[in-house]
Amino acid sequence: MTSIFLQLLVNGLVAGSIYALVAAGFSLIYSTNKFVHFAHGGVIVLSSYFLYWISTTLGLDFYISSFLTILFATFLGYSLNKVLYQKFRAKKASNSVLLVASVAILILLQSLSLLIFGADVKTIALPLSNHSMNIGGVFVTPVQVIIVIISLFLFFSLRLLMQKTKIGKAMRAVADNNEVAEILGISSERVYSTSFAIGSAIVGVAAILVSLEQNITPLMGTSLIIKGFTGSVIGGIGSVTGAIVGSLFLGLAENFGTWFVSAGFKDAIAFILLFIFLLIKPQGLFGNKNNQK
Amino acid sequence: MLTINNLTKHFGGVKAVDNCNFQIEKGKIVALIGPNGSGKTTIFNLISGIVQANNGEIIFNDQNLIGSSVDKISNFGISRIFQQSRLFKNLCVIDNLLLALDNEDTKLWKNLFGFNKTTDEKVARVRKILAELNILDIENTLASELSFGQKRLVELARAILNPHELLLLDEPVAGVNPKIRKIIAELIIKIKNEGKGVLLIEHDMVFTLGVSDYIIVMDAGRVIAEGLPQDIRKNEKVLEAYLGR
Amino acid sequence: MIDAYFIHLLILIGIYLILGISLQLSLGYGGLLNLGHIAFFGIGAYAFALLSLHGFPFALSILVASIISGLFGWLLSVPTKKLKGDYLALVTLGFSFVVYAVLLNWTSITGGAFGLANIPRPSFLSDNFLFLLFVYAIAVISYLFISRICGTRFGKLIEAIRDDELAAKSLGKNTLKIKSWGLVISAFFAGLAGSLFASYITFIDPSSFTLTTLIPILLIVIIGGLTSLPGTVLATIVVVLIPEPLRFLGFSSSVIGPLQQILYALLLVVIIYYKPRGFYGKIDLE
């Protein structure tokens, strides 16, 4: 019995780590920009296909490809802000309009992936052997271990960035009250750009890890952003830490949920949790006054 | 007709309304005055049900309003205007006003089967009050395109057309020119003479002292004085509250 | 006679028209950014499919499926009664995800990813041209019904609540009841469109009821202009026909699908940027 429990725990942590990577960047962008950047999911899917293209089709070394993928993701997210959201903001567009635009972009990027690469599932050739290892009765693959390790590393780095660096403090200032921040000389637009860059870079890492762990499909972006969004809502959408914790909780809830319902309902668990939390506890587990308007 | 007993409301640590007691009789215009932040608009919000009291009673015609919803309270016979005009900006003036006449428009099936037509009689009633306020010419203008003064007038007309016995007017003449101010004053007096009650919040002392039968003075959430206009004018506590401490 | 493909396009226009005007009621007139609207389309489709696959008569199946969809509209109105703007949009989006997940995973009833096939069509409608006439008869009735509602005092009240709910309440209106009705009627007609869709294609699966399907419907409502029902009609024709030239350029169907989605998404972004009022709209998207 305990080995099933431990297995579900590990599976939950691995899944949760992936969601947390998505949610961390997403939440960083939300806390500073104050709107829901659903197109974040589009950045994931296009970056995954980018990785596939340069590593498999073009045959570039995996590690170089990964590095380029992170750059690609960063550039894509940054551009979306500069080319799109910034223009909408200049027109004083409401949050609803930005939301609709970002959903449209998500679908656009998803369809682009489908168009260029087709619907069949793609896999990435692994640079290392990925046989399941048996550690104390629990089965886990090297990739899964890497996912958890890299996630932890990124989360701590992000926290350091937010607390100790000038740009991190600027981001927190804008997240808290951007009018006051402006008066203090912090450029909101620069902070927005930076948050998009950092958030998208993190999700670039997520794209790489997900591509190794699962297969690449055009719909993976939508699926992951919904999970990341759910994790953010559960943990408190204005808080990056909350988003990470909420996502880990989601990963665990999904996997432990399979104890009670069939594995196919895993997604349903996430969506139902999302719906419930949006309605009942919109400030999440780590309540933050910056959440709603 | 309206009795406030021990009414208290706090927001967080701040007591916006602190144990207030007063009465409004029908056929009288009562003014609620006091410096900014003294709790006047909160009293309005408590009476009209937008905000729920922490303690106390609001008795209107033998009915305790505490706990009732905004629409229910309106249907008991209390009508109000807001400090900032809240018109239906994408509807024209006539539509804004027709909505106030009755609640037949909430009945889907009645409307669907054609039993709630806009009669000439209803339009005439709307036009009558527009004429009294001298704004007949804007009847087809979209509410969003009205000037500030016109918006105030339309909102006032709307509140008056809404069937009521008590009218709550939150700064009815703020920012409005003297000519219109006079029209509004005459209209309010006419309403009082019909036996309705009027409770008004105003900062314009000339207007207030000219039109009111009774004045209640608030400061920091409490009633600090009340009486006839001529007495309040000379009241020490009132002057102190207004001129600073 | 008329080219079979052309008939197909016209049928799609008819079905999308009903879907479009139902969203126009809740979004344009009601001011509710219901991003979960496609869920009602799906619920109607699946309800109809299940009913007719179990032998219920055609007309009854359509009616009951639409009513079931309307019921879900009511269900959604309860938790969302105090929500506005982007928050409402997110909750309705969440609702559509839940519905999608259920359709995808409740395999014993919905057939899961494989969906439901061989949905019966009455023999007198087996000819597509006759089906087309049927769809348009329903579309015209739907248009007249919704147009009538919007033209009455009740319709003005729906708009008033959109503009300022508190002011409406202060006039004694039970705004929650009215908003509920708005969602119910909107969902009913979306479900009606879904039933027609299921009956036409005779095969449905969850992939037809995702965010991807929402984009062209949103596009229709916004291009036509918020609160303009005639605008919605025109916009439906335009939106359904716009990707057609791609077919003439000789692309394969695996290319046309995604290209169509890209085109719709791009157009949606462009229109809400440059002309959020659409062509015949009275108000802006907010």
Higher pLDDT among residues A2 and B7, named by residue: B7
DSSP string, B20-85: EEEEE-TT-EEEEE-STTSSHHHHHHHHHTSS--SEEEEEETTEE-TT--HHHHHHHTEEEE-SS-
Higher pLDDT among residues C153 and A287, named by residue: C153
Between the alpha carbon of residue C140 and those of residues B238, C21, C25, C195, C281, the distances in Å are 68, 11, 16, 16, 21
pLDDT in tens, A30-52: 988 888 899 999 999 999 999 99
Q: Across the strands, what pairs with B63?
A: B60
Query: Do C and A share at least 3 CB pairs under 8 Å?
Result: yes
CA-to-CA distance for A81 and A32, rounded, in angstroms? Answer: 13
Q: How confident is the model at residue C139 (pLDDT cuts 50, 70, 90)?
A: very high
For residue A291, pLDDT beyond 70: no
- Average pLDDT value for residue range C3-8: 88
- Average pLDDT value for residue range A175-186: 80
Higher pLDDT among residues A231 and A59, named by residue: A231
Contacts of C104 in chain A (CB under 8 A): 264, 267
- Average pLDDT value for residue range A6-22: 91
pTM: 0.90
Sign of the alpha-carbon torsion through A131, A133, A138, A144: negative
CB contact under 8 A, C173 and B48: no
Domain ranges (residues) in chain A: 2-118+137-280
Backbone angles phi, psi at C65, to 5 degrees: -60, -40
Q: How confident is the model at residue C65 (pLDDT cuts 50, 70, 90)?
A: very high
A97, A105, A118: residue with CB nearest C265: A105
Percent helix, strand, coil in chain C, to 5, is 75, 0, 20
Nearest chain C Cα to A118, which residue? C254
CB contact under 8 A, C152 and B158: no
Helix (H, G, I), strand (E, B) or coil at B240: helix
CA of A149 vs chain C CAs: smallest distance (Å):
31
Helix (H, G, I), strand (E, B) or coil at A121: coil
- Average pLDDT value for residue range B152-181: 91
- Continuous segment of H or E residues that includes residue A47: helix A40-52
The CATH code belonging to domain B2-243 is 3.40.50.300
Domain ranges (residues) in chain B: 2-243
Q: What percent of chain C has pLDDT over 70?
A: 99
Chain centroid offset of residue A225 CA: 6
Q: Across the strands, what pairs with A147?
A: none
Q: How confident is the model at residue A252 (pLDDT cuts 50, 70, 90)?
A: very high
- Average pLDDT value for residue range B149-164: 92
- Average pLDDT value for residue range C102-115: 86
Contacts of B107 in chain C (CB under 8 A): 154
Q: Residues of A at the C interface (Cβ-Cβ below 8 Å)? A: 35-36, 84, 87-88, 91, 93-101, 103-108, 110-112, 114-115, 118-119, 222, 226, 262, 264-265, 267-268, 270-272, 274-275, 278-279, 282, 292-293
Residues present in chain C in total: 286
pLDDT in tens, C158-207: 999 999 999 999 999 999 999 999 999 999 999 999 999 999 998 999 99
Helix (H, G, I), strand (E, B) or coil at C249: coil
pLDDT in tens, B186-233: 999 999 999 999 999 988 888 888 899 999 988 888 888 888 888 887
pLDDT at A163: 87
CA-to-CA distance for A269 and C95, rounded, in angstroms? Answer: 13
Tokens of B227: 């009486």
CA-to-CA distance for C202 and B21, rounded, in angstroms? Answer: 70
pLDDT in tens, A188-229: 888 899 999 999 999 999 999 999 888 899 989 988 999 999
Instruction: Give the residue among A152, A120, A124, A110 at the shortest CA–CA distance from A214.
Output: A124
Q: Are C186 and C74 in contact (CB under 8 A)?
A: no
| Furthest CA-CA distance within chain C | 60
Tokens of C231: 């605008």
CA of C146 vs chain A CAs: smallest distance (Å):
25
Q: Which chains touch C (3 or more CB pairs under 8 A)?
A: A, B
The CATH code belonging to domain A2-118+137-280 is 1.10.3470
The per-residue pLDDT of chain C, averaged, comes to 91
DSSP assignment letter at A57: I
The 3-class SS string of C151-191 reads HCHHHHHHHHHHHCHHHHHHCCCCHHHHHHHHHHHHHHHHH
Q: How confident is the model at residue C240 (pLDDT cuts 50, 70, 90)?
A: very high
CA-to-CA distance for C92 and A145, rounded, in angstroms? Answer: 37
A87, A96, A107: residue with CB nearest C215: A107
- Average pLDDT value for residue range C114-128: 85
Contacts of C98 in chain A (CB under 8 A): 268, 271-272, 274-275
Q: Are C134 and C125 in contact (CB under 8 A)?
A: yes
For residue A290, pLDDT beyond 50: no
Interface-testing mutation among B70, B169, B170, with chain C (most C C-beta atoms within 10 A): B70
For residue B131, pLDDT beyond 60: yes
pLDDT in tens, C245-278: 888 787 787 888 899 999 999 999 999 999 888 8
CA-to-CA distance for B138 and B146, rounded, in angstroms? Answer: 8
CB contact under 8 A, A279 and C91: yes
- Average pLDDT value for residue range B8-28: 88
Nearest chain C Cα to B97, which residue? C171
Provide the H-helix boundaries in chain B: 40-48, 70-76, 93-101, 108-112, 120-132, 148-161, 178-193, 205-211, 229-234, 236-243
Q: How confident is the model at residue A292 (pLDDT cuts 50, 70, 90)?
A: very low
pLDDT in tens, A1-13: 677 888 889 889 9
Nearest chain C Cα to B159, which residue? C171
- Average pLDDT value for residue range B12-37: 88
A36, A84, A118: residue with CB nearest C86: A36
Q: Are A2 and A212 in contact (CB under 8 A)?
A: no
- Average pLDDT value for residue range A141-148: 88
